[in-house]
Structure formats: C-alpha cells, structure tokens
Amino acid sequence: MIDDNTTSRRNFIKGVATGLIGGTLAGMGFYSYTASAYSRLPKVVREQQDFGAVRSVKVTAISETSWFSNALIMEDIKKSGGLLVDQYTIGWGPFGNGKGAGKSSYEEGIANIKKMIPGDLGEAWALQEKISLHPDNPGGFSSLIEVEDLDGSKHKYLLDSGWSYKWMEQSFKREGIDQMLKSGEIEALVLSHEHYDHFWGLPVTMKYSNKLPMYIHNGFYKEGRQYIVDSGYKGTPIVVDKELTLIRPGMMLMKFDVPIICRVFGEISFAFNVKDKGLVIVSGCNHQGILQMTSTASRRLKYDKDQFHGLYGGLHISPFEDWDPKYDDLVISLGKWGFEKIGCNHCTGHLTARKFIKSGYPVVRGTARFGSSTPDYLGNGDTITFG
C-alpha cells in the first residue's frame, strides 16, 4: 500500500475520548443539538477572506440515494461491531469476501476484484453480489456542479462518486456524466469524505476519466488512498490540508476535521460567492454539522451583501428517519442564517425536510424520480440553480 500521512496520528478513538462523539447520532457529525450551542462556539473576530465571485452555480443530483434500506445498513453495522467499526471490515461490496459481517478487510476484499476494475465493473459487481452483505442495498451520492464565471465561461465539477458500481453506472449514464468525463468537460473530482456511499464507487469515474484532478481531505486513511490507486487513477490526488483552498475565483473548498462513524475522518464542503446574491454552500454529508459549517463560512469568507444565499446537499440531521425533539433546535438554528434557497436531500432525511417546509424555509422540492422516495427534497435527476 502507499504510505499514510497524518491520518493515523489523528486517531479516530481520540475523537471519542475528547467528546466529539457522544452517542450514535452525535458520532455522525453533530457538535450540538441545542440553541445555546452558538454561545459555546469560539468568540473570534470575523477575518473574512475575499475570494472573488461567480455569476451562478447549478447543482444536479446525479444520485442522492446512498442506500435503499436503513434497517439493513444498521443491521450490518451492528453485527460488525457497532458504529466505530472500520468500514472496510463490514463486508459490503466492493470489499465483501463471503465470510459474513465484520470479517472482511481492504486487502482481502480488493484482491477479489482488483483485476476487474475499472475496466469490467459489471463483472466485479456481479461477483460482489455473490459474496457481499445485502448487495442490492447500496446506491450512492454524487452531484454535478456547474459554475458560471463572471465572464460567462462555464466549468463543471463532480462531487463524489457514489457506492454501488451497478447503480452509479446507471446514474452516470442517465445524466450524461459518462460522456462529460470522456470528453474532459468535467474539470475535477472532489471527494467530500471517505465514506462508502460517497467514495467506493470511484472506479465508475475512473472508467471514463482516470487522470482528472482529484481533491481529497488529508484525513483519508491508508486504505482509502490505496483504493484511489487500485481504482485505476493515474494522477496524484490533491490533498486538502488547509481550512480554505481556493479552486477558482468565487469557488472555495472548506475543510473540516471531524471524526465520523465507521472510522472515517474529515469532510470537505464547497463555498461559492454568487455576485449580487451572496454565499452558497454545497456539502456532501455535512458531518461537521450546520453550526460548524455556517459559523466557519461566516467567520472566514467575504461574500456579497453579507448574505447566506443558498444551501445544497446532505445536512445529516435525520439520515435514518428517526427524530428526537432536540433535533428541532438544529432546524431552528438554521433559520438564524436567513438562507434564501435551500436544496436538501440525502442524509438530511425526509423528516428534516418536512420540518424545514413546516418552518417556512425556502426549500426547493423535487420530483421523486429514479429511486428517490419523496418530493419534499431534491431527488435523483433534480437540479437547483443559485444566481
């Protein structure tokens, strides 16, 4: 395997010991559920960085359906040892080995399919359907981000690469992503974090473009870094190791260091300054939490009208469709920022989307097509434009 760098030193269990994980849902990235959480955030002077502006941002949900049964996901995690278990040991495709829950490993799993990826993904997933846990349950998260500069030029970026090879192949073809990758229209891939449903479908992207620039959080574990190589990538990943990384004028990556369930560390989100509108934030899962994400953006970035204009992505409040009254504080807290357009989906949860709507937030609804199960949020194939 290729060398690991900082991840082992950022021990996941250390995060537990220092209180960043305080239970099942807290371990998914919530720093707090109470309205008083703002008073506990560091009191610092806003050091807003001017990072330019764009004319507009359009996001297409290639796939927001990470899996199809919450019950099966939780069953597999529980049987494998619980929420702190290493995701590569659970036995999900593409790292299944036929031995059952909690008995796999990266090395053993990849050995079964290494010669097949990225060229023969159908054969690779067909094998996994025989030896992995609940192989029909995985889907994946991936979004297409189209940015229009002030001069009218347009740029396309891919956020994440999903999970199931089979599902993501279908999703890419449905939205024409395969052809965009082949033609070089997509300028870079940004992997928000190392979780299975955002990352393990990487060979699908590599099948069509194996040299495009790729941005990853510096918290990727050695298995994740090796999977990038084993997936057929012929470039060198750009490791995001600063809180802010400018991609182009008006387009910034924000890095958050947070321990996440299934031994994953850190997440990257997008920030855009849309001219005459304000700040737009795009996230994969937002494991860092709404309070951390919005507070960081407000503190570190300069944006038009000092206005939070738009929000898109997974917000990780009720991903398993449970609800506790204390989550209502997060819904209330979101209102503090005055977003003018909200496009949520994925791990935001259906219950949360309905709470947003009931609260009168400007939620853009979807069409519930292609496997998405509710029109209360933007589903597979739906789009949203800011600016």
Tally Cβ neighbours within 10 Å of residue 13.
11
pLDDT value, residue 344: 95
Q: How far is CA 40 from CA 35, 220, 267, 292, in A?
A: 10, 29, 22, 11
Residues 6+ apart with CB under 8 A from 121: 165, 166, 169, 203, 204, 207
Residues 6+ apart with CB under 8 A from 80: 89, 90, 91, 101, 102
Provide the token pair at 323: 């609800």
Topology of the domain covering 1-67+138-387? Metallo-beta-lactamase; Chain A (3.60.15)
Nearest C-alpha neighbor of 266 from the set 220, 335, 231, 215: 220
Q: Amino acid identity of 130?
A: K
pLDDT value, residue 29: 45
Specify which residues 341 forms β-bridges with. 310
Q: What would the pLDDT profile of 134-189 be if each residue is shown by its tens digit?
A: 999 999 999 999 999 999 999 999 999 999 999 999 999 999 999 999 999 999 99
DSSP-derived letter for residue 377 is S
pLDDT value, residue 36: 58
pLDDT value, residue 38: 57
Provide the token pair at 287: 């494991």
How many residues in total does the chain contain? 387
pLDDT value, residue 325: 83
Cα-Cα-Cα-Cα dihedral sign, residues 135, 128, 160, 62: negative
Tally Cβ neighbours within 10 Å of residue 208.
18
CA dist., res. 37 & res. 61, Å (int): 31
Element (H, E) at 37: helix 37-40
Element (H, E) at 276: none
CA dist., res. 341 & res. 370, Å (int): 23
Residues 6+ apart with CB under 8 A from 287: 28, 29, 193, 256, 258, 260, 267, 316
What does each of the 387 residues of the chain score in pLDDT, given as a tens digit? 444 444 443 444 333 333 333 334 444 444 444 555 556 666 668 889 999 999 999 999 999 999 999 999 999 999 999 999 999 999 999 999 999 999 999 999 999 999 999 999 999 999 999 999 999 999 999 999 999 999 999 999 999 999 999 999 999 999 999 999 999 999 999 999 999 999 999 999 999 999 999 999 999 999 999 999 999 999 999 999 999 999 999 999 999 999 999 999 999 999 999 999 999 999 999 999 988 999 999 999 999 999 999 999 999 988 888 877 888 888 888 999 999 999 999 999 999 999 999 999 999 999 999 999 899 999 999 999 999
Domain boundaries, the chain: 1-67+138-387, 69-137
Nearest C-alpha neighbor of 356 from the set 328, 337, 336, 380: 328
Element (H, E) at 75: helix 70-80
Q: How far is CA 198 from CA 49, 142, 183, 285, 340, in A?
A: 29, 7, 23, 9, 27
| Ranges of H-type helices in 184-334 | 196-199, 202-208, 222-230, 290-300, 328-334
CA dist., res. 153 & res. 156, Å (int): 11
Nearest C-alpha neighbor of 215 from the set 250, 187, 195, 179: 187
CA angle 273, 275, 280 (to 5 degrees): 35
pLDDT value, residue 68: 95
Pairing relationship of beta strands 341-345 and 278-283 according to DSSP bridges = unpaired
Element (H, E) at 376: none
Place of tokens 């090395």: 107
CA dist., res. 345 & res. 348, Å (int): 5
